[in-house]
A and B are shown apart, each in its own frame.
Chain A
Amino acid sequence: DIQMTQSPSSLSASVGDRVTITCRASQSISTYLNWYQQRPGKAPKFLIYAASILPRGGPSRFSGSGSGTDFTLTITSLQPEDFATYFCQQSYRTPYTFGQGTKLEI
């Protein structure tokens, strides 16, 4: 299985800050990388696919980059609703695997 490792595991920030979360794959996955957001008690919300593509209507303060094994999710101008846990997921091959999550706290 392809292992996905996120860093940091938790991160403290303030409203208006810019933050970056990193995801590393155990092997090259090209740009087959998705990001999800999960608020406490809620279902995950799909944020980005193909490493950098926002779905239609997605907030533009979220951006993704990377290819191969190293990827980043950047959130500019943090909003109160952005404080949540973020997961990366590879879709290069099954079984699809996820990072352990990064908890973004106020």
Chain B
Amino acid sequence: QVQLQQWGAGLVKPSETLSLTCAVFGGSFSGHYWSWLRQVPGKGLEWIGEITHSGSATYNPSLRSRVTLSVDASKNQFSLRVTAVTAADTALYSCARGVREGYYYYMDVWGNGTTVTVSS
């Protein structure tokens, strides 16, 4: 059974960099898409981007200028960095596994989420 375990700083100062890492346990790291999403309380989910085991990344254009996704396939881990954070980046951040079946795509396994607060 695949599990995602994520960690990172829960409090980040304005203008600094948010960093989170997600580790994959119990399943194949290759052949899937590894996503980051965030959720502001009371609002919907926002997809930040995804990366493959080989490092090919796709980003949400709304965040592209501040976001970097990276992968360490030797450790079955992938990471998120968001630079120049503001209070608007305060959210619950989650990692997820993306699966492609033919032309269809869905996220079937999710991490438990990390609440990140941007505050001085």
A residues with CB within 8 A of B: 1, 4, 32, 34, 36, 42-46, 49-50, 53, 55, 87, 89, 91, 94-101
Contacts and interface: CB of A to CB of B under 8 A. Distances in A.
Question: Interface majority SS on B: helix, strand, loop or mixed?
Answer: strand
Contacts of A98: 44-47
A101 B40 CA distance: 12
Using C-beta atoms within 8 Å of the partner chain, give the interface range for chain B: 20 to 34
26 contacts: A4-B44, A32-B104, A32-B105, A34-B106, A36-B107, A45-B110, A46-B106, A46-B109, A49-B101, A49-B104, A50-B101, A50-B104, A55-B108, A89-B106, A91-B104, A91-B105, A91-B106, A94-B47, A94-B60, A96-B105, A97-B47, A98-B46, A99-B44, A100-B43, A100-B44, A101-B44
Contacts, number: 59
Contacts of B62: 1, 95
A99 B45 CA distance: 8
B61 A43 contact: no
Contacts of B46: 98
A10 to B, nearest CB: 12
A32 B106 CA distance: 9
B83 interface: no
A42 to B, nearest CB: 8
B10 interface: no
